[in-house]
Amino acid sequence: MAKIMYYLDCVFAVVDYHDSTLTDYKNYDEIKVSKLLVIYELAKLFHPSLFIVKGVFIVDEKLLIDTNNQFYEVTDETVGFHASREIVIGGKTVRVLKLMACNNTWLSNNYYMPMKLIDDLINQIKTDEENKKNYNYQSQVLTTQTTIIETKPIVIEVEFKNSPVSTACPFCKRFITTKTQSKLNCAACCCCLMFGLFYFCFQVCNGKNGCCCDVDHICPMCGKIVGHYTAC
């Protein structure tokens, strides 16, 4: 940016378009951020080709003495015989005050290379801002989307008998101790009446209760039947 400010200082030395607040390149580090873009846009407006075509910038090594740029008076016949006396810049006609001889090295060091670096920086900032917007948008979409996950009931192998058991409810997904609800089993009653003590012993040997009641195991949290015991 300091080199661009120096370039503008040289431009304002040859044309009547001066603004000292934009050309104080020696104190470039004190310039306000708000003016950096103004300097950049002004430098694009004052492109070297504009002055080269009008003969105000003369790219000729022969006119330089131990330097890369040198100023001449407009009336100097050595360089000013074909130079314009006025230039239209941004719709405004400005008067030519001096002429400047320079070489390609000076133009490259003080205009083309700095402007390319600034262009690259601005493009990178725009790219970063665009990527940030895309990232924020994608993050917002991800956080607002409702993801539905199909969950399978929790199944724990457990043997239901006529007394409460501890298990996981496949409906409310909680670990519970079941509540039991008994109901008469007609088949078991008939067998008990027909075979009496023999039926009772048969039930006990098979790990069943000798009574003739079926038992439903109920979840105390959601109230649904999670298991069943059959007496016969």
On whether both 24 and 80 belong to a single domain, the answer is yes
What's the confidence (pLDDT) of residue 30? 76
37 and 116 both lie in a single domain: yes
Per-residue pLDDT of the chain (232 residues; tens, 9 = 90+): 899 999 999 999 999 987 666 777 888 777 777 788 888 999 999 999 999 999 999 999 999 989 999 999 998 888 877 788 998 988 889 999 999 999 999 999 999 999 999 999 888 988 888 888 777 777 776 666 655 445 455 455 678 887 888 888 888 878 788 989 877 676 666 666 666 656 666 666 665 655 667 888 899 888 899 888 877 6
pTM, to two decimals = 0.54
Q: How many domains does the chain have?
A: 2
Alpha helix segments (H runs only) across the chain: 2-14, 33-45, 48-53, 104-107, 113-144, 186-195, 197-205
Q: Are residues 109 and 173 in the same domain?
A: no
Torsion of CA 127, 128, 133, 136, to 10 degrees: 150
On whether both 8 and 73 belong to a single domain, the answer is yes
What is the structure's pLDDT at 131?
84
Same domain, 125 and 175: no
d(CA 179, CA 42): 85
Shared domain check, 120 and 13: yes
Domain identity same for 6 and 98: yes
Residues spanned by the domain of 195: 166-229
For residue 199, tell me if it sits in a domain: yes
User: In angstroms, rounded to a whole number, what is the distance separating the alpha carbons of residues 58 and 103?
Assistant: 8
Are both 177 and 88 inside the same structural domain? no
Asked if residue 157 belongs to a domain, the reply is no
Question: Chain-centre distance of CA 232, in angstroms?
Answer: 67
From the CA atom positions of the chain, what is the Rg in Å?
Answer: 47
Instruction: Please report, for residues 26, 149, 159, 160, 168, the alpha-carbon distance to residue 152 in angstroms, rounded to integers and kept in the order given.
Output: 73, 10, 21, 21, 13
